[in-house]
């Protein structure tokens, strides 16, 4: 499959350098995960080894919901958490982690557009999250 460069790449890189949490939202199948995995691969060249985890996996989702602290120990920053709408229980723990470490770009998270989740993110991570909405090509 051929990767198509997107204008949002530069915006995402800038937002990641400004905030501890980068949230990329948008409809399903617009390329949120593909884009972030490509950028994470590029980060390897400068020594940043970002972990990837998807909450589509039922076992991973169970851990995230039932023991968010252990989940974040296992998948410590820098990390890309895909489909975070499945485990909003992570937000208070992400907040504690970024308040403690104060590291820009520590968490990259994706979610499909879910209004309630976006409201929860804005409240839980106020001042800590940069949100980029990715639309289709």
Contact partners, residue 89, CB within 8 Å, separation at least 6: 64, 65, 68
Kindly report the CATH number assigned to the domain that includes residue 80.
Answer: 3.40.50.300
Quick: pLDDT tens for 99-124: 999 899 999 999 986 656 666 676 77
39 assigned to some structural domain: yes
Where the chain has pLDDT below 50, the residues are none
pLDDT of amino acid 125: 82
Q: What is the pLDDT of residue 54?
A: 98
Q: Is the dihedral of CA 22, 102, 53, 114 positive or negative?
A: negative
E strand residue ranges, 38-137: 51-54, 79-82, 107-112, 129-133
Give domain status of residue 35, yes or no.
Answer: yes
Total count of domains within the chain: 1
Q: How far apart are the first and last CA of the chain?
A: 16
pLDDT at res. 4: 73
> For residues 40 and 80, is the Cβ–Cβ distance under 8 A?
yes
Residue numbers of the domain that contains 42: 8-133
Query: In the numeric block, which tokens belong to residue 21?
Result: 């949490």
Residue 36 lies in a domain: yes
pLDDT of residue 6: 78
Q: Is residue 3 part of a domain?
A: no
What is the distance of C-alpha 108 from the center of its chain? 3
2 in a domain, yes or no?
no
Residue 54 pairs in a beta bridge with: 82
* Cβ neighbours for 79, distance < 8 A, ≥ 6 positions apart: 50, 51, 52, 53, 106, 107, 108
With respect to residue 1, please indicate whether it lies within any of the assigned structural domains: no
């Amino acid at each position: 499959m051929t990767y198509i460069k997107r204008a949002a790449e530069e915006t995402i890189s800038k937002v990641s350098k400004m905030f501890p949490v980068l949230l990329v939202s948008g409809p399903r199948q617009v390329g949120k995960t593909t884009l972030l995995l490509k950028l994470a691969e590029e980060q390897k060249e400068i020594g940043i080894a970002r972990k990837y985890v998807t909450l589509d996996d039922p076992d991973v989702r169970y851990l995230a919901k039932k023991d968010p602290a252990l989940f974040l120990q296992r998948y410590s920053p820098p990390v890309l958490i895909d489909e975070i709408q499945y485990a909003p229980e992570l937000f208070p723990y992400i907040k504690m982690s970024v308040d403690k470490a104060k590291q820009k770009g520590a968490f990259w998270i994706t979610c499909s557009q879910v209004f309630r989740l976006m409201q929860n993110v804005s409240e839980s991570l106020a001042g800590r999250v940069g949100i980029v909405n990715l639309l289709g090509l």
